[in-house]
Amino acid sequence: MGKLIDTPLGKALSTGKPILWLNPELHAKKACHNTELTLSDIHQADQRLRRCAALLQQLFPELISSNGLIESALLSATNLQQQHYPELSGKLMIKGDHALPVAGSVKARGGIHEVLCHAEQLALEHGIISGYDDNYLKLLSADAQALFSRHEIAVSSTGNLGLSIGIISAALGFRSVVHMSVEAKQWKKQRLRDRGVTVIEHSDDYSAAVAAGRAASNADPDSYFVDDENSPRLFLGYAVAALRLQQQLIEQQIPVDAEHPLFVYIPCGVGGAPGGINFGLKQVFGPHVHCFFAEPVEAPCVLIGMQAIDKEHPDSVYQVGLRVDTEADGLAVSMASGWVCSVIDNMLSGIFTVTDDELFKNLFRLSQSEGIEIEPSAAAGFSGPTWLTGTEQGQNYLQQQRLNHAMHNATHLLWTTGGLFVPAEEMQKFQQRGNQRPTR
Ligand SMILES: *Cc1c(COP(=O)(O)O)cnc(C)c1O
């Protein structure tokens, strides 16, 4: 294969105009298994979070009302649908991870799961607990604190993963180091420093911050690096969302089957969070769920990563002349996780791209119609239903998948991935920008 920039897709991406790409490998039988991961691994991650529920409740009083579970609501978006998607048949809903407690974003389940894995392992090795059925409140004991304080947990982040890892690591008593890439917002750094986390600021992009963070951590035997580009522990924590969503759909009596397809639109950065959710949903709902990722026009790294023959070595967005120039800090990633791209190779339905103007317009519309406030990254999925039902390519997808007869029964789920901790004055600026006419 030649260079991506020489292909029609590469040329289209390089213009910075929004596009929809459909994955030709969807539901393809794989020659070799790219992943050993199964539904049972997701259940184990869920069990781990449940074992730690009492512990989490002690550390974070905001979890008392949910008995220590970090979960978000499944919401109807009736006003948003009536006002802004009048042609859409089926039901528009929101998975409200913008309000996930403790971390304030979709990073909560994955990040907290990975840190708990590490803490649990250390506690078992050092005899703090004797097994999975022991009392996990022992992780708060003086012995445990002495142990954890000798160990470091490090991560690289554009902001939200750092918040998730930093907050839980510091709360458990670990030394915590967060390497922030250039796009990280000041208030996210301050929030971590206020909790005793060491924040190292990099003037380079996310992939470079990951490389630097990984190298520094690997040089210290007492440091554990949460590797966003290669982490089954993060990925499985994210995938737990699928089990929780399945339960919520049952409670709200919303079927998902051949006659009731589920379309999910998820903002995507390096690929881990949406990839984990996609993987989980496919394990739970098989062919009846259709996952689409949303990336900024300036940072479609997973779209590019999915084109690679050797998925483990994806190209960067710079190779098609883009610059990661976006206000969506959570999605500002130049190079995808090759590992995630290979795992979701035959599970992902497609990817569409969005301009920053659309992000702000959509977060403003959501606030006006539903009273829900989210950060720009979290609004990336909102053009999904229109791409799918209102364009020729989207129609092609529905035809290929033989879905047209069932669209009046469809559920369209917008995954809102962050926003809880955005300071009021920042939020006001976001809303103002969304209320203006586009600048270009
Ligand atoms: C991190 C993040 C995403 C995407 O997750 P990735 O694992 O980077 O693909 C989406 N939305 C928000 C708000 C995020 O912080």
Q: Could you tell me if 19 and 99 lie in one domain?
A: yes
Residue 141 domain-assigned? yes
The domain boundary residue, chosen from 204, 232, 260: 232
Residue 420 Cα to ligand 1 midpoint, Å, equals: 14
CATH number, domain containing residue 209 = 3.40.50.1100
Q: pLDDT per residue over 17-41, tens digit each?
A: 999 999 999 988 765 555 689 999 9
Residue 21 domain-assigned? yes
Ligand 1 binding pocket, CB closer than 6 Å: 105-107, 160, 267-274, 330-331, 375, 377-378, 417-418
In 3D, which of 248, 312, 236, 246 has the Cα closest to residue 277? 236
| Rounded-to-5 percentages of helix, strand, coil across the chain | 50, 15, 35
**What percent of the chain clears pLDDT 90, i.e. is strictly above it?**
93
Q: Could you tell me if 291 and 201 lie in one domain?
A: no
Query: What is the structure's pLDDT at 31?
Result: 54
The domain boundary residue, chosen from 209, 232, 255: 232
In 3D, which of 97, 94, 117 has the Cα closest to residue 108? 97
Summarize the confidence of residues 289-317 as an average pLDDT.
95
Residue 224 domain-assigned? yes
Q: Could you tell me if 265 and 397 lie in one domain?
A: yes
Query: What is the structure's pLDDT at 34?
Result: 57
Query: What is the structure's pLDDT at 183?
Result: 87
Query: What is the structure's pLDDT at 439?
Result: 53
Q: Could you tell me if 299 and 426 lie in one domain?
A: yes
Q: Could you tell me if 269 and 154 lie in one domain?
A: no
Q: Could you tell me if 298 and 364 lie in one domain?
A: yes
Given a cut of 90, whether residue 80 has pLDDT beyond it is: yes
Q: Across-strand partners of 226?
A: 155
Q: Could you tell me if 286 and 412 lie in one domain?
A: yes
Q: Could you tell me if 163 and 245 lie in one domain?
A: no
In 3D, which of 129, 127, 102 has the Cα closest to residue 113? 102
Q: pLDDT per residue over 94-140, tens digit each?
A: 999 999 999 999 999 999 999 999 999 999 999 999 999 999 999 99
Total domains in the fold of the chain: 2
Residue 162 Cα to ligand 1 midpoint, Å, equals: 11
Query: Which atom in ligand 1 lies closest to the alpha carbon of residue 271?
Result: 9
Residue 103 Cα to ligand 1 midpoint, Å, equals: 12
**What percent of the chain clears pLDDT 70, i.e. is strictly above it?**
97
More confident residue, 183 or 108: 108
Q: Could you tell me if 144 and 214 lie in one domain?
A: yes
Query: Which atom in ligand 1 lies closest to the alpha carbon of residue 110?
Result: 7
Query: What is the structure's pLDDT at 438?
Result: 56
What is the residue range of 163's domain? 107-232
The torsion region of residue 267 among left (phi > 0), alpha (psi -120 to 50) and beta comes to beta
pTM here is 0.97
Query: What is the structure's pLDDT at 310?
Result: 86
The confidence band for 311, taking pLDDT boundaries of 50, 70 and 90, is: confident
Residue 151 domain-assigned? yes
Given a cut of 70, whether residue 440 has pLDDT beyond it is: no
Residue 393 domain-assigned? yes
Given a cut of 80, whether residue 299 has pLDDT beyond it is: yes
Q: pLDDT per residue over 191-242, tens digit each?
A: 999 999 999 999 989 999 999 999 999 999 999 999 999 999 999 999 999 9
Residue 426 domain-assigned? yes
Summarize the confidence of residues 281-303 as an average pLDDT.
98
Contact at 8 Å (CB) between 439 and 282? no
Cα(232)–Cα(190) distance, rounded to whole angstroms? 29
Residue 216 Cα to ligand 1 midpoint, Å, equals: 24
Query: What is the structure's pLDDT at 436?
Result: 86
The domain boundary residue, chosen from 232, 254, 284: 232
Q: Could you tell me if 170 and 207 lie in one domain?
A: yes
Q: pLDDT per residue over 320-377, tens digit each?
A: 999 999 999 999 999 999 999 999 999 999 999 999 999 999 999 999 999 999 999 9
- Cα of 202 vs its chain's centroid, Å: 22
Nearest residue (by CA) to ligand 1, atom 15, is: 330
Query: Which atom in ligand 1 lies closest to the alpha carbon of residue 98?
Result: 13
Query: What is the structure's pLDDT at 28?
Result: 82
Q: Could you tell me if 98 and 114 lie in one domain?
A: no
Summarize the confidence of residues 378-393 as an average pLDDT.
98
Burial of 408 (0-12, 13-18, 19+ CB in 10 A): exposed
Residue 62 domain-assigned? no
Residue 66 domain-assigned? no
Mean pLDDT of the chain: 95
Q: Could you tell me if 113 and 98 lie in one domain?
A: no
